[in-house]
Amino acid sequence: MKKILCICLCSCMLFLCGCKKIIKEDSPETSRLFTSALEIDCGDGVFVSGNITRLGAETWRAEMSSPDEIEGIVLLYSPDGITAEYHGMTFTTAKENTPEKNILGSVFKCIDHSSALVSMPYEETENGRIFFGECDKGKYTITTDNDDNITAVCLEDMGLSATLEDFCVIE
């Protein structure tokens, strides 16, 4: 009877431990320079899309394609500020003068934050990994494919979800 009880207990322990998600630590490949198509779901049926280029730490270029009201606007993010260009007109402002819910800036902040970390907790998935982080924008996840290319950035606290496609590393 004791043997049966012991076997049942061990089986239950193995079963329960086998179902738990394993969290590991590693450094995501987010410090690379790259270009990508980007679509951000802002919630409430609002989507913003364009092409982005990571030119360095805290240095980005975004060319907006939709919605129609912002098509053609080029945004340049640098450590010093943000410059908007549209049909030859240019406007520059300091980052602290932008709204708290700066959609693109928030996505860029999460990627830049993760690139500065030595390691981040992550879960393995069938198609890659999901990294978990937190910065001044709140909790976020960065999803990568099996080649460590970023495929998504999700900012839970802001309700933003960004999808990256056609990811191309700049050599």
The residues spanned by each domain of the chain are 22-169
Q: What is the distance between the alpha carbons of residues 142 and 58, in angstroms, rounded to a whole number?
A: 17
Mean pLDDT of 18-46: 86
Is residue 20 pLDDT above 60, yes or no?
Answer: no
Pick 151 or 4 by higher pLDDT.
Answer: 151
Query: Regarding predicted confidence, which is higher, 98 or 34?
Result: 34
Q: What does DSSP assign to residue 148? A: S
pLDDT at 21: 58
**22-169: which CATH topology?**
outer membrane lipoprotein receptor (LolB), chain A (2.50.20)
Q: What is the mean pLDDT of the chain?
A: 88
115: left (phi over 0), alpha (psi -120 to 50) or beta: alpha
